[in-house]
A and B are shown apart, each in its own frame.
Chain A
Amino acid sequence: MVDDTAAGNSIQRNKRLLTRALAVCGAMFLFGFACVPLYRIACEHVFRNKIYNTADSAKGFRVDESRWVTVQFVGNVNSQLDWSFAPEQVTMRVHPGAVNDAWYDAANKAQTAIVGNAVPSIAPSQGSPYFNKIECFCFTEQVLKPGESRRMPVKFVVDPKLPKTIDTLTLSYTFYNNRPATKKLAEQTQATQPPNS
């Protein structure tokens, strides 16, 4: 019958459309996950905004002795982390291009060993690309045993190209509990130390 082939054709076309549409859906689902690396690339290369900690070299800056920049230090602890954490110095006056050292102190107030990660941030954000950390406790995980405390260094250089309108930079850290790592640590110590009773 003529009708049958017409109906058959339309079923064919519907099936083809269905597979194509599902392919689009699958692709968009993957796109959601592709946003993760895309986002990092956009932040780091297009907007020069580091979201992942990487060490910068001093790049052979010339020290600009004609200029002073004030650097302020702030330390915060996320509410999920039972540590104390604070900078040793509140401000420093530095020359752009010179390498400087600052110190932070952290102590674990909890009864268990905890792995923490510090996330840095620079204000104002326009100054952020010009603040180079050569060495920083925020590059790695910090493990503190119960009651343990530690002095932690930050080595930094302010890029002499820092816009003239900026004369103060604020470096602030927030310390977070790295839960997956803390959990793994607890499991490892349990596995290596036989229960003592």
Chain B
Amino acid sequence: MTTHATAHHDDHHDDKPHGFLHRWVYSTNHKDIGTLYLIFAFIMVCVGAAFSGVIRTELMKPGLQFVQPYFFNEMTTMHGLVMIFGAIMPSFVGLANWMIPMMIGAPDMALPRMNNWSFWILPFAFFLLLSTLFIPGGAPAGGWTMYPPLSIQGGDSVALMVFSIHLMGISSIMGAINIIATILNMRAPGMDLLKMPVFVWSWLITAFLLIAVMPVLAGAVTMLLTDRYFGTSFFNAAGGGDPVMYQHIFWFFGHPEVYIMILPAFGIISEIVPTFSRKPLFGYQAMVYALASIAFLSFIVWGHHMFTVGMPLGGELYFMYATMLIAIPTGVKVFNWVSTMWGGSMTFEAPMLWAIAFIVLFTIGGFSGVMLALVPADFQYQDTYFVVAHFHYVLVTGALFAIIGAIYYWWPKWTGRMYNETWAKVHFWWSAVFVNVLFFPQHFLGLAGMPRRIPDYNVAFADWNLVSTIGAYGMYLTPFMFFFILWHSKKHGAPAAARAWEGAHGLEWTVPSPAPFHTFSTPPVIHDEDLAHGDVSH
């Protein structure tokens, strides 16, 4: 079928389209789109980090030194929106694009044209959002949670923010539908659902979460828009509405959203740990069921973000117990990773280091989450830096560390080159130290009562804030390190074997490195040892 194509390209083994426009803008190739997503996410990490630089610099000392309070609030809001919707989520979608077809033996994503759309909407969405920094009235400043009435006061950034969130929602919904269609319809013969790699499972479940809750967020921000511009009173007390209702709707989206940002990370860790422990994943089925039950529970615990709004006592107790229930399937996962390592012949290449750091530090975030789930304690912690510490442990040392580990892990497959292990270890240890210097003291600040989202604070909080800012400055070097390690590898790295890691199993390691432009055009014959999880008897 490709005879005419090969006839025209005299020397190429791949029939890649030529020219920037055709190769990238019109791309329907899952690998190229995956690359686009990852590059976009990297740029957004840098933008979001710059915003946090303003925040941490202002907070280095008590008093107002560098920025006005309103601008400070714009920075906290934009930092949250950019990191969540621009950095973490697109990175995971990029990894899904690259890896899912290769892991299940499919030639491409199920709906390649839609795949192109779901990526190319994103730059426009973020252009709208970031442009608010330059309009009269400034960027949104009411927090990433956009609680009314505060979020709909201020300038016309409200409208731009709402439209950009609509676009991001459309993009992630299309991406999610594509992933579901790929996994359900495109698996190679013999790749039963319960033989799929856990990364694929985690994305299947995440994609269902996405199509269930992104439309709810779209509805909530639409109501904000009509309240602001068209005289409705969904959340306006004067017109008979209720601002607390917004919080219910938002967190009905918001809590599943935080799991959207962690389930694919669970999947990644479940790939990396067995490889470098040279053992199959412990309790494969338990891992899959744990993912599913976390996803289910995530729909019924949203109230733990609202303990202080004045809920009936029964509601508080219900949300407290339901939230604590999530710790059980989460614990199952942590113990299974540890059991996978137990007695394995472990080595500590960079992906494994990031994965182990994930397990330890994410668990710290899980513990602070359980503390926050205790109603009487949460009245004290709500809206303090303790919450900030909690969600940065789960999102930075959780989601982001897993993403970095995944990039190191699959990089040889993508580029056909190894990275420099020494520098990767420097990158890791540098990050592991400074991320804790940055976020651990925020636990102390929160317990001592420092509120979040404030530009100035009591001198009593000065010391730990300075420590935290030093940690932040350390972290700002890491994107540069990462960039140069990958750049150097791309240019000068040693060639990678098809099975780049000795203990790696799974279909992606049966194709050459770098993976050719088209893989599995004919479905592969699956051998037992190609399955990622060894035990195929179940």
Residues of chain A whose beta carbon lies under 8 Å from any beta carbon of chain B = 10, 13-14, 17-18, 21-22, 24-26, 28-33, 35-36, 39, 47, 49, 51-53, 78, 116-117, 119, 125, 174, 176-180, 183
- Show 16 residue pairs from A and B whose CB-CB distance is below 8 angstroms, ordered by the A residue: A10-B110, A14-B110, A14-B185, A24-B211, A24-B212, A28-B214, A28-B215, A28-B216, A31-B215, A32-B249, A39-B245, A53-B240, A116-B238, A176-B238, A178-B238, A183-B231
The residue that A29 contacts in the complex, of B184, B185, B219, B237, with Cβ under 8 A, is B219
Which B residues are in CB contact (< 8 Å) with A52? Answer: 240
Evaluate whether A14 and B245 lie within 8 angstroms (CB atoms) in the complex, with A25-B211, A29-B215, A32-B215 already known. no
Asked if residues A31 and B239 are in contact (CB atoms below 8 Å), the reply is: no
Residue of B nearest to A52 (CB): B240
Residue of B nearest to A121 (CB): B310
The residue that A21 contacts in the complex, of B186, B211, B312, with Cβ under 8 A, is B211
Tell which of A25, A35, A174 has the most Cβ of chain B within 10 Å. Answer: A25
Choose the segment among B65-73, B173-181, B389-397 that binds chain A (4+ C-beta atoms closer than 8 Å): B173-181
Which A residues are in CB contact (< 8 Å) with B184? Answer: 13, 17
The residue that B219 contacts in the complex, of A18, A33, A125, A180, with Cβ under 8 A, is A33
Evaluate whether A17 and B185 lie within 8 angstroms (CB atoms) in the complex, with A117-B239, A176-B237, A180-B239 already known. yes
B452 at the interface (CB under 8 A from A): no
B248 at the interface (CB under 8 A from A): yes
Which B residues are in CB contact (< 8 Å) with A31? Answer: 215-216, 219
A179–B228 alpha-carbon span in the complex (Å): 11
Residues of chain B whose beta carbon lies under 8 Å from any beta carbon of chain A = 110-111, 114, 173, 176-177, 180-181, 184-186, 211-220, 222-223, 231, 233-234, 236-240, 242, 245, 248-249, 252, 310, 312, 315
Which B residues are in CB contact (< 8 Å) with A180? Answer: 231, 233, 239
Asked if residues B219 and A32 are in contact (CB atoms below 8 Å), the reply is: yes
A36–B476 alpha-carbon span in the complex (Å): 44
Residue of A nearest to B173 (CB): A25
Which B residues are in CB contact (< 8 Å) with A53? Answer: 240
Evaluate whether A125 and B310 lie within 8 angstroms (CB atoms) in the complex, with A24-B212, A28-B211, A33-B219 already known. yes
Which A residues are in CB contact (< 8 Å) with B312? Answer: 47, 49, 125
A39–B114 alpha-carbon span in the complex (Å): 36
A78–B238 alpha-carbon span in the complex (Å): 10
Evaluate whether A177 and B238 lie within 8 angstroms (CB atoms) in the complex, with A39-B245, A39-B248 already known. yes
A24–B111 alpha-carbon span in the complex (Å): 18
Residue of A nearest to B213 (CB): A28
Residue of A nearest to B153 (CB): A80
Which A residues are in CB contact (< 8 Å) with B219? Answer: 28-33, 35
Which A residues are in CB contact (< 8 Å) with B110? Answer: 10, 14, 17
Which A residues are in CB contact (< 8 Å) with B214? Answer: 25, 28
Would you list the 10 A-B pairs with minimal beta carbon distance, nearest first?
A: A32-B219, A176-B238, A29-B215, A28-B215, A180-B231, A21-B177, A32-B216, A178-B238, A117-B238, A14-B110
Asked if residues B111 and A14 are in contact (CB atoms below 8 Å), the reply is: yes
Asked if residues A22 and B245 are in contact (CB atoms below 8 Å), the reply is: no
Shortest A41–chain B CB gap in Å is 12
A116–B249 alpha-carbon span in the complex (Å): 27
Shortest B154–chain A CB gap in Å is 13
| Interface residue SS majority, chain B | helix
Asked if residues A51 and B242 are in contact (CB atoms below 8 Å), the reply is: yes
A168–B245 alpha-carbon span in the complex (Å): 28
Shortest B261–chain A CB gap in Å is 19
Asked if residues A17 and B181 are in contact (CB atoms below 8 Å), the reply is: yes
A138–B137 alpha-carbon span in the complex (Å): 34
Asked if residues B231 and A18 are in contact (CB atoms below 8 Å), the reply is: no
Shortest A186–chain B CB gap in Å is 13
The residue that B186 contacts in the complex, of A10, A30, A35, A51, with Cβ under 8 A, is A10
Asked if residues B177 and A18 are in contact (CB atoms below 8 Å), the reply is: yes
A14–B110 alpha-carbon span in the complex (Å): 7
Residue of B nearest to A24 (CB): B211
Asked if residues B245 and A36 are in contact (CB atoms below 8 Å), the reply is: yes
Asked if residues A28 and B212 are in contact (CB atoms below 8 Å), the reply is: yes
Which B residues are in CB contact (< 8 Å) with A183? Answer: 231
Shortest B27–chain A CB gap in Å is 19
Asked if residues A119 and B237 are in contact (CB atoms below 8 Å), the reply is: yes
Tell which of A22, A36, A174 has the most Cβ of chain B within 10 Å. Answer: A36
Shortest B109–chain A CB gap in Å is 10
Which A residues are in CB contact (< 8 Å) with B222? Answer: 32
Tell which of B173, B181, B186, B236 has the most Cβ of chain A within 10 Å. Answer: B181
Asked if residues B239 and A26 are in contact (CB atoms below 8 Å), the reply is: no
Which B residues are in CB contact (< 8 Å) with A125? Answer: 310, 312
Tell which of B110, B212, B215, B242 has the most Cβ of chain A within 10 Å. Answer: B215
Which B residues are in CB contact (< 8 Å) with A39? Answer: 242, 245, 248
A32–B211 alpha-carbon span in the complex (Å): 13
Which B residues are in CB contact (< 8 Å) with A30? Answer: 219
Asked if residues A174 and B237 are in contact (CB atoms below 8 Å), the reply is: yes
Shortest B181–chain A CB gap in Å is 5
Shortest A180–chain B CB gap in Å is 4
Tell which of A32, A47, A49, A78 has the most Cβ of chain B within 10 Å. Answer: A32
Shortest B207–chain A CB gap in Å is 9
Shortest A32–chain B CB gap in Å is 2
Asked if residues A21 and B180 are in contact (CB atoms below 8 Å), the reply is: yes
Shortest A12–chain B CB gap in Å is 10
Which A residues are in CB contact (< 8 Å) with B249? Answer: 32, 35
Residue of A nearest to B314 (CB): A47
Which B residues are in CB contact (< 8 Å) with A51? Answer: 242
Shortest A147–chain B CB gap in Å is 22
Residue of B nearest to A177 (CB): B238
Shortest B538–chain A CB gap in Å is 27
Which B residues are in CB contact (< 8 Å) with A21? Answer: 176-177, 180-181, 211
Which B residues are in CB contact (< 8 Å) with A177? Answer: 238
A36–B240 alpha-carbon span in the complex (Å): 11
Which A residues are in CB contact (< 8 Å) with B211? Answer: 21, 24-25, 28
A36–B222 alpha-carbon span in the complex (Å): 13
